């Protein structure tokens, strides 16, 4: 990934936050038939002294878990907030007209090695944790125990677990850091007016970060 210095995000905690907040990752693998991309919800296990571990599951009918070899190198891409930035939002545009459109975004590339975990205990744990995470904001969170045990057991037989041991994290946050303060504030106002409050807040956060 091309990462100009002003857009580089080296803080592991911030990279982990983006992964947790945007858990649908794009898993890229290199198979005998070429590059493959699968979109999966991931859980991040933060492990001291390492980049962490990503865990997920795929359908047993999905050939990806048979097409890879244990310990193959893979890439998982997580996209954070993003959006279009109009040059009309920059006060500087009115002064010189030397402004152009752009797209701001956050992204994390997790490089690692993949390992297939085709065992019921692991898969049950992944499903249980994913459920708890994504049901947490429901008034009455659904639990695996809400369904008949034989039904859950049958469903689990149709999926296979995967584990990705992260070896390197790359982060990029392209948030107008190279623009003057008045233009960055103009981008924030424009985004808020168009309802993109997440990206607006991300730019605000860069204004308060220590250099």
Q: Which of 55-69, 89-103, 111-125 has the lowest mean pLDDT?
A: 89-103
In tens, the pLDDT along 2-54 reads 999 999 999 999 999 999 999 999 999 999 999 999 999 999 998 766 779 99
In tens, the pLDDT along 72-98 reads 999 999 999 999 999 999 997 777 877
The pLDDT score that the predictor gives to residue 145 is 93
The H or E element spanning position 198 is helix 197-208
Has residue 120 got a pLDDT over 70? yes
**C-alpha distances in Å from residue 22, one per residue of 16, 88, 99, 121, 187:** 10, 30, 31, 26, 23
Q: How far apart are CA 39 and CA 50, in angstroms?
A: 24
What residues does each domain of the chain span? 5-80+105-175
Has residue 113 got a pLDDT over 60? yes
Q: CB of 156 within 8 A of CB of 120?
A: yes
The pLDDT score that the predictor gives to residue 49 is 67
Q: How far apart are CA 197 and CA 202, in angstroms?
A: 9
The pLDDT score that the predictor gives to residue 94 is 78
Q: Which of 42-51, 130-139, 182-191 has the lowest mean pLDDT?
A: 42-51
Long-range contacts of 186-189 (CB under 8 A, 24+ apart): 186/89, 186/90, 186/91, 186/92, 187/85, 187/89, 187/90, 187/104, 189/89
Residue 86's closest CA among 16, 192, 190? Answer: 190
Proportion of the chain above pLDDT 90, given as a percent: 90
In tens, the pLDDT along 189-201 reads 999 999 999 999 9
**31: Cα within 13 Å, side-chain hemisphere:** 14
User: Within a 10 A sphere around the Cβ of 157, how many other Cβ atoms?
Assistant: 11
pTM tops 0.75, yes or no: yes
| pLDDT band with cut points at 50, 70 and 90 for residue 211 | very low
Has residue 210 got a pLDDT over 80? no
CATH superfamily entry for domain 5-80+105-175 = Electron Transport, Fmn-binding Protein; Chain A (2.30.110.10)
The pLDDT score that the predictor gives to residue 93 is 74
Question: What mean pLDDT, rounded, does the chain reach?
Answer: 94
User: Within a 10 A sphere around the Cβ of 165, how many other Cβ atoms?
Assistant: 16
3-state secondary structure of 68: coil
Of 11-15, 157-161, 176-180, 205-209, the range with the highest mean pLDDT is 157-161
């Amino acid at each position: 990934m091309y990462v100009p210095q002003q857009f580089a995000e080296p803080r592991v905690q911030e990279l982990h936050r983006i992964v947790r907040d945007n858990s649908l990752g794009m898993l890229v693998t290199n198979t005998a038939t070429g590059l493959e991309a699968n979109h999966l919800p991931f859980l991040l296990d933060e492990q001291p002294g390492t980049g962490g571990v990503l865990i997920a599951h795929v359908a047993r009918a999905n050939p990806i878990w048979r097409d890879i070899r244990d310990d193959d190198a893979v890439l998982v891409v997580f996209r954070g907030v993003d959006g279009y930035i109009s040059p009309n939002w920059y006060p500087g545009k009115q002064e010189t007209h030397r402004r152009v459109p752009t797209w701001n975004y956050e992204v994390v590339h997790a490089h690692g090695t993949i390992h297939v975990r085709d065992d019921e205990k692991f898969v049950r744990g992944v499903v249980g944790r994913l459920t708890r995470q994504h049901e947490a904001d429901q008034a009455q969170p659904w639990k695996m125990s809400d369904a008949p045990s034989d039904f859950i057991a049958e469903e689990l037989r149709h999926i296979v677990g995967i584990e990705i041991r992260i070896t390197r994290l790359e982060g990029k946050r392209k948030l107008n850091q190279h623009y003057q303060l008045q233009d960055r504030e103009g981008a924030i106002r424009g985004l808020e007016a168009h309802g993109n409050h997440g990206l607006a807040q991300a730019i605000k956060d860069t204004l308060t970060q220590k250099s």
